[in-house]
Amino acid sequence: NVRNRIGADIYVKQEYMNPTGSFKDRGTSIMISALKAMGIRELVEDSSGNAGASLSAYAAMSNITAHIFVPESAPAPKIGQIQVYGAITHKIPGTRDATTEAAKIFVRNNQLAYSSHNLSPFFIEGTKIFAHEVFREFGDDIPGDVVIPVGNGSLYLGMWKGLCELKKSKRISRMPRLHFVQTEAVKPLYCAATGEAWDITMVRETKSGGTAVGSPPRRDQVIEVLTKSEGSCVTVSEKELISWQKILASDEGIYAEPTSATALAGAEKLIKSGDIDKTSRMLIPITGSGLKDEQPN
Answer whether residue 296 shows pLDDT above 80: no
Residues in the chain: 297
Average pLDDT over residues 7-20: 95
Q: What is the pLDDT of residue 254?
A: 97
Helix 258-273 with 238-252: angle, nearest 10 deg? 100
Answer whether residue 222 shows pLDDT above 90: yes
Q: CA nearest 160: which of 235, 222, 233?
A: 222
Average pLDDT over residues 232-261: 97
Q: What is the pLDDT of residue 94?
A: 92
Cα 6 from Cα 166, distance rounded (Å) = 29
Average pLDDT over residues 166-187: 98
Q: Which part of the chain is CATH 3.40.50.1100?
A: 2-21+125-292, 24-122
For the domain bounded by 24-122, which CATH number is listed? 3.40.50.1100
Q: What is the pLDDT of residue 7?
A: 82
Q: CA nearest 165: which of 222, 217, 127?
A: 127
Answer whether residue 282 shows pLDDT above 80: yes
Average pLDDT over residues 87-107: 95
* Contact between 164 and 178 (Cβ < 8 Å): no
Percent of the chain scored above 90 by pLDDT? 93
For the domain bounded by 2-21+125-292, which CATH number is listed? 3.40.50.1100
